Structure 1
Amino acid sequence: MPPSLAGYPTPDPEYVRKKKRRDALLALAERSGWEIGYQDEVWWSRVSQPSLHSWSEQDEPLRLQELSKDKNDPDPKALACYAMLSATSGRMHLRFVSGRPVSQVTTDFLEWLCEQVQAQGKHVLVLIWDNASWHVSKQVKTWLREHNQTVLQKASTDTPDVRIIPCWLPTKSPWLNRIEPKWAHGKRAIVEPARLLTAREVRQRVCNYFGCEQAELLTQKIS
């Protein structure tokens, strides 16, 4: 029978092996002073309201209005973003997307992440993430292999790049990714009960909540 945790069964027959690899990489990274990052993507809806429990004045319960998008509203109904939670600093590295998560956007995000990790003086990133198609695609795996080969070739230089050690989690095991709970808390924190936020307002509120600067949008290139 597949193992389970906190009442969540996983259909992945390789759960035990993959979890052991994750745990071993985490231990190695901690001993070696490497960066550990939990990565994921999420959609921030401008229309759907999250489940919310809140304190309010007696006889004045907080009410979330049902929102709708005007036909002349130029902003999308939902905004996608990529993020990585640093296990060492607790910092969130976040980029919103013009478009949706695809392999090309993933590699653009990884390249940017390497710059962030390098700026912290670290040269190895253990990347914990799930099996989304834009994580396991041939394009992404080829990019990772070629990137790491280039890093090894430049290892003796004065400015070595960041090597990425990817760790794909077992299928449907969100409890192994520490970034997952951040999304639910964030969506409750940025809620606007009575009006539709603009895309700019959503991005700003998300970045304010997570304490990160609003970086340039990642762009899905349409060929």
Structure 2
Amino acid sequence: MIAWCSQQSNWAIGFADEVWWSRFALPRMSAWQDEEQPVRLVEQPWQKRDPDPKALACYGVLWQQGPLSGPRRSEMSLRFVTGRPVSALTIQFLEWCCTQLQAQGKTAWLLIWDNASWHGSKQVRTWIREHNQQVRQAGKGTRILPFFLPTKSPWLNPIEPKWVHGKQAIVEPDGLLTAQQLAERICAHFGCSHEPHLALSKKVV
């Protein structure tokens, strides 16, 4: 499938993943938990005076270009998240990516990602199916073809080393960055525009 897609000029291949970007010195990679399990972070007393979150969650896609024998993987698309990745935010990110791809004349996106619960949730699977149906009926837009990597195999996703190298290049050896400073550094490092954060709509009581 990947070999065939790489030969189609109107197809896109993108490796997706989510990550925490710590505002503190020397951050370490964080393992994601399922949506039903909240992330537990230990807060020091002095940090309670800090208005910004300790880390920014971020969706990312690494786009593959060129022939399969020598693919180029340098272009990234990023969106920061208010909160942490869940199904509703994943749908917002996919929709945003499809809008960008449609503007480039791409008719299909081979989406390669892991088995995080918010990737394979019923809500996301239903949205992708309905989205693809709308694209076919309208005769325009970008269809999504999700491809799931084997469980616990981050080395198969080439976006993973991008995260590691990015963190090493961006963080300060000591001290603390504001959320705005961190976001700007991340976007500058990857050559991306700083888009508004993805956020869940507030429920009306």
Check whether TM > 0.5. yes
**After superposition, what is the alpha-carbon deviation per residue over 1:179-218, rounded to whole angstroms, capped at 9, x for unaligned?**
1110000000111123210000110000000000100110
- Distance in 2, matches of 1:175 and 1:125, equals 21
Alignment of 1:1-223 (within 5 A): 25-33=1-9, 34-50=11-27, 70-88=47-65, 90-155=74-139, 160-221=140-201, 223=203
**After superposition, what is the alpha-carbon deviation per residue over 1:128-187, rounded to whole angstroms, capped at 9, x for unaligned?**
0000011010000000000000000011xxxx1000000011101112111111000000
- Distance in 1, matches of 2:163 and 2:154, equals 12
- Distance in 2, matches of 1:69 and 1:76, equals 13
| Partner SS state of residue 43, structure 1 | strand
CA shift, 1:120, in A, is 1.5
Report the TM-score when normalising by structure 2. Answer: 0.83
CA shift, 1:50, in A, is 3.9
Q: Which runs of 5+ in 2 are unaligned?
A: 29-43, 66-71
The answer to whether the 8 A contact 1:100-1:220 is kept is no
The answer to whether the 8 A contact 2:24-2:175 is kept is no
**After superposition, what is the alpha-carbon deviation per residue over 1:99-118, rounded to whole angstroms, capped at 9, x for unaligned?**
11000000000000001111
CA shift, 1:48, in A, is 5.0
- Give % identity: 57
Report the TM-score when normalising by structure 1. Answer: 0.77
Judged with a 3 Å threshold, the aligned counterparts in structure 2 of structure 1 residues 99 and 213 are, in CA distance, closer, same or farther, namely same
Q: Which runs of 5+ in 1 are unaligned?
A: 1-24, 52-66
Q: Kindly tell me the number of residue pairs found equivalent between the two proteins.
A: 180
Judged with a 3 Å threshold, the aligned counterparts in structure 2 of structure 1 residues 69 and 139 are, in CA distance, closer, same or farther, namely farther
CA shift, 1:47, in A, is 2.5
The answer to whether the 8 A contact 1:69-1:196 is kept is no
- Distance in 1, matches of 2:165 and 2:46, equals 24
- Distance in 2, matches of 1:192 and 1:220, equals 31
Cα RMSD (Å) of the superposition?
A: 1.7
